């Protein structure tokens, strides 16, 4: 099921984009994610940390592990994961295995793939499959037009592309 974004969703996504920017400025890839409980409280936040050499250090994977350690199955099912970029297959699988709830993303994997193609860059080593291909039971929402444009600019910056000229 795909649902539309609310104003609250956009506020959480804006924070994910801020975390993505922080990651980029620290030498990591520009991705940031949040775990928000059923009452709207931010429970955990992280951003990409691959610059140390471990390419599996994605924030969505960190969220799945944190949730498995700290939340009951009921709390996990009612929690929402917000993320600047749609989960990769690894993270979508981790999300589903630990029983987390809805996912809201600012930009989709299909968008990232099309940006890389536009910039003449190779695709990554993992197929950019949609979350619901990996985890059909997960409710998802996204992308958001305005926030995905911000993510595109960060992804361009990460690759030394002038995003204004590459449109
Ligand atoms: Zn991932």
> For 25-65, how does the pLDDT look when each residue is reduced to its tens digit (9 = 90+)?
999 999 999 999 999 999 999 999 999 999 999 999 999 99
Q: Which percentage of the chain shows pLDDT scores above 70?
A: 95
What pLDDT shows up at residue 59?
98
Q: List, as own/partner pairs, every contact residues 47-53 make where C-beta atoms lie below 8 angstroms and the sequence separation is at least 24, other chains included.
A: 47/19, 47/20, 47/22, 47/23, 48/20, 48/23, 49/23, 51/26, 51/27
Confidence label for 161 from pLDDT (cuts 50, 70 and 90):
very high
Distance 40 CA to ligand 1 centre (A): 24
HSE at residue 81, side-chain half, CA atoms within 13 A, is 34
CA of 15 to the centre of ligand 1 (A): 18
Query: Which contacts qualify for 74-80: CB closer than 8 Å, 24 or more apart?
Result: 75/37, 75/38, 76/100, 76/101, 77/101, 78/37, 78/38, 79/35, 79/36, 79/37, 79/38, 79/43, 80/12, 80/35, 80/36, 80/104
Q: How far is the CA of 135 from the centre of ligand 1 (A)?
A: 14
Mean pLDDT of 115-143: 96
Provide the Cα torsion 8, 131, 101, 14; round to 10°: -20
Ligand 1 geometric centre to CA of 75 (Å): 22
**Residue 87 confidence (pLDDT) above 90:** yes
On the question of pLDDT at 78 being above 80, the answer is yes
Going from the Cα of 163 to the center of ligand 1, the distance in angstroms, rounded, reads: 24
pLDDT at 160 over 70: yes
More confident of the two residues 162 and 103: 103
């Amino acid at each position: 099921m795909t649902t539309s974004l609310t104003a609250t969703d956009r506020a959480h996504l804006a924070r994910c984009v801020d975390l993505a920017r922080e990651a980029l400025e620290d030498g990591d890839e520009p991705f940031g994610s949040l775990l928000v409980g059923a009452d709207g409280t931010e429970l955990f936040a992280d951003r990409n940390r691959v610059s140390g050499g471990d390419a599996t250090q994605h924030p969505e994977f960190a969220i799945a592990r944190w949730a498995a350690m700290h939340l009951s199955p009921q709390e996990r099912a009612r929690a929402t994961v917000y993320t600047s970029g749609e989960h990769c297959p690894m993270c979508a699988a981790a999300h589903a295995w630990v029983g987390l709830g809805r996912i809201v993303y600012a930009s989709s994997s299909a968008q990232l793939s099309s940006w890389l193609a536009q910039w003449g860059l190779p695709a990554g080593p993992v197929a950019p499959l949609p979350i619901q291909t990996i985890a059909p039971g997960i409710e998802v929402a996204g992308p958001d037009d305005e926030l995905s444009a911000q993510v595109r600019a960060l992804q361009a910056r990460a690759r030394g592309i002038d995003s204004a000229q590459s449109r």
